Chains A and B, each alone.
Chain A
Amino acid sequence: MSEYYKPLPKPSPTSRPFWEAARRHELTLQRCGACRAYIYYPRDRCPKCFSDKLAWERVSGRGKVYSFTVVRRASSRAFSDAPYVLAIVELAEGPRMTSNIMAAPEDVRVEMPVEVCFDDVTPDHTLVKFKPA
């Protein structure tokens, strides 16, 4: 396997549980104990009601493509292996996530149902991606 040269997430104390779950191939979100909102990306307080009563919950991993683009020419040399499909995935639980759709560009549509998959890009890093459901 060649060396992975794309940017990698550097977890913060706030986000570490998210990335640790991803390494176990589980999608988890924070949920607010006060207003019950699911939260992405991880926060120290709920961005809706500002409560600090946040707990991690494993979620369904189901969602749909809210929008997407096929990046044919990337702004960054790290992604010179373009084309790739960049998408905003709307999770069944509500929050939207930036991710990649692991499918041929011509097969991706707005509103298409997708499900989570996990890409172990290095021994220490797993990215949360999606594939057609």
Chain B
Amino acid sequence: MSLKGKAAAIGIGELKPVKEPGDLTALGLMAQVAAEAIADAGLEKKDIDGFLVGVPFSDPGMIYPASAAEVLGLNVRMLNQVDIGGASPAGMIWRAAAAIDAGMCSAVLCIVADLNKVGDQRPPVISVQREFEAPYGNIGANCGYAMIAHRHMHEYGTTARQMAKVAVDQRTSALKNPLATFNDKALTIDDVLNSRMIVDPLHLYEIVSPVSGGAAIIVASPEVAKRAKNPPIWLLGAGEYANHSTITYAPSITESPIKPAAAAAFKMAGLQPKDMDIACPYDCYTITVIVTLEDAGFCKKGEGGPFVMEHDLTYAGDFPCNTHGGQLSFGQPGLAGGMSHVTEAIRQLMGRGGERQVKGAALGYVNGNGGIMSEQSSLVLERRS
């Protein structure tokens, strides 16, 4: 059993995130990106017969998929919510392919949208986190990633400048992305290190900014893909893994579940990291990219810091990485932050990267990461010539 070549991404819709949500609603944003993605694929709404949705933090609820599908006016043969945090969008792609391969449906709308309601961090919803984390102030994602970064520095000698380089190169690419939230000013390593320290050792510019927005992707069967407007971007490999929720209880805090997830994705694809033309690793923080490049096998464990210094990660560089700017420059519209890595890989492989197009990009690696390095979903995508 394999999903290799069983389905393709054929259309995307993505909004430029906004800082102030105003009168927007999450369902309204979903309608916008759904319409955009369906039109981009060259399909009509009646062609959509599968629906995978992420539940917005700003409009939470159970039994969500049918409600959202009703608002969008969809009649579907398969519907579900994907609830693996920032890995949800990447996780949707292979779940859609699996449903298609099983004959359950032929064109799946994968969709996420959210509003950033400025205010206090929500208390943890999971009882064990309320009991054993919140009383000590382990609330939100910043703390966990800061502790990963500290331990990584201790074990491997990773430096603040190496981590900052990730934000700098991604910003250089963001300057060519009209959809990015932060695309008006280049950054230097010193700019990053001079930004306010939020959680040692992470500075403000190493941390994603919550914004409002949404994104959608159409995943289709080979038959539907034949009549698509865009070149189909085939799923060649997928892998998923989780071994903890709170980072304290992870087997290792510096070696992540990305390792087995990526290994499974590359194995299914029959390819290796060095075959990839572009990489889109989830980047909630700078350290996340360094750990992902190591665990996915782009460099050896512990060498992520030197790797990002030795390579130009921009769209014009020798290792194009998060050419949309990453979430660090694109912004994080809830789960749609994690979809930005998938839409960017699809866009680049379709040859629609505009001014930041990576020449000849045919193979791409995407990783989605949920929680504190918890849920991991890796994809290998291909444009066939």
Contact = CB atoms under 8 A, between A and B. Distances in A.
A9 B200 contact: no
Contact of B248 (A12, A96, A100): A96
Interface stretch (A23-31, A49-57, A73-81): A73-81
A73 B143 CA distance: 10
B121 A75 contact: yes
Interface residues on B, range: 35 or more
Interface string A65-79: 011111111111111
Contacts of A97: 132, 248
A57 B270 CA distance: 50
B44 interface: no
Interface residues of A, number: 38
- Secondary structure dominating the interface of A: mixed
A37 interface: no
Contacts of B134: 7, 76
Given A9-B135, A98-B136, A70 B200 contact: yes
A6 B135 contact: yes
Contact of B200 (A72, A96, A98): A72
A21 interface: no
A74 B147 contact: no
Contact of A12 (B131, B146, B147): B131
Contacts of A70: 199-200
Interface in A16-59: 41
A88 B150 CA distance: 11
A92 to B, nearest CB: 16
Nearest to B137: A79
A84 B197 CA distance: 13
Given A7-B130, A72-B198, A127 B135 contact: yes
Given A68-B150, A76-B123, A110-B150, A11 B249 contact: no
B200 A69 contact: yes
A64 B193 CA distance: 29
Contacts of A72: 196-200
B102 to A, nearest CB: 31
Contacts of B147: 67-69, 86-88
A132 interface: no
B123 A7 contact: yes
Interface string B121-143: 10100011011111111111111
A69 B140 contact: no
Contacts of B253: 66-67, 88
Nearest to B253: A67
Nearest to B201: A69
A75 B140 contact: yes
Contacts of B142: 69, 71, 75
Contacts of B247: 88
A111 interface: yes
Interface of A: 6-12, 15, 41, 66-79, 82, 84, 86-88, 96-100, 105, 110-111, 127, 129
Given A76-B137, A129-B136, 18 more contacts: A6-B135, A15-B131, A66-B151, A67-B148, A69-B150, A69-B202, A73-B199, A75-B142, A76-B139, A76-B140, A77-B120, A79-B137, A79-B139, A86-B137, A86-B138, A86-B147, A87-B147, A88-B248
